[in-house]
Amino acid sequence: MAFEVPPLPYAKDALASHGMCAETMELHHDKHHQAYVTAVNGFVEKDATLKGKSLEDLIKLSYNKPEMAPLFNNAGQHWNHSLFWPAMSPTHGGRMPGKLEKKLIADFGGVAQFKEAFKAAAVGQFGSGWAWLILDAHGKLKVTKTPNGSNPLATGEGQALLGCDVWEHSYYLDFRNRRPDYVQNWLDKLANYDFAEAKLG
């Protein structure tokens, strides 16, 4: 079974009034994400040892192997973007549910402190990559960042609850070069904190 780009859980123009325009969604979901999926399918097609493996298996087996970097980057980006779309919401973006809020207060000192840490990670990621809210093996919320197509599944740092794409293609049409403004807007108006909270179990 070839990998496929999951459909967006909302219309392409649904986030426009929240700072992510329909053209960004069109290019990002239909072109960029599709290109990663097409590339992964191409690698699997050419290598019998990869056939039938899950996306998670492909990511883990190619992590930190220079000769498998093209597979890793594309498989990682498919996984990352599949999490990115539902991690935003046109109806309750930015709204903080109670259980997650309590845990953010316990683990970061407050929601504002969490947002500062997340923003620092997202802005501090030199070049392309991702900022993450993760639940680590000790049940503690943490903020991390990864370069390019990497992610917390590959690094083993924990379970990803939210991931913010800081590749320029995710914000250049809406925010030009202003990554800090994009990330602040993402945290305040786009992030689907219900989606994150549901993963707390």
Structure tokens, 69: 């970097």
Nearer to Mn ion, 5 or 133 (CB): 5
Site size toward Mn ion, by CB under 5 A: 3
CB of 97 to Mn ion, least distance (A): 26
Nearer to Mn ion, 85 or 167 (CB): 167
Contact status: 167 vs Mn ion (CB under 5 A): yes
Secondary structure element (H or E) that encloses residue 74, with its range: helix 69-84
Contact status: 174 vs Mn ion (CB under 5 A): no
Other Cβ atoms less than 10 A from the Cβ of 138: the count is: 7
DSSP 82-150: HHHTTTB-TTTTTPPPHHHHHHHHHHHSSHHHHHHHHHHHHHHS-SSEEEEEEE-TTS-EEEEEEETT-
| Distance of alpha carbon 69 from alpha carbon 88, whole angstroms | 28
CB of 68 to Mn ion, least distance (A): 21
Q: Judged by CB under 5 A, which stretch of 4-12, 39-47, 52-60, 157-165 contacts Mn ion?
A: 157-165
Nearer to Mn ion, 5 or 117 (CB): 5
Binding mask 12-51 for Mn ion (x = CB under 5 A): ----------------------------------------
- 88 contacts 191 by C-beta, under 8 angstroms: yes
Q: Which residues bind Mn ion (CB under 5 A)?
A: 165, 167, 170
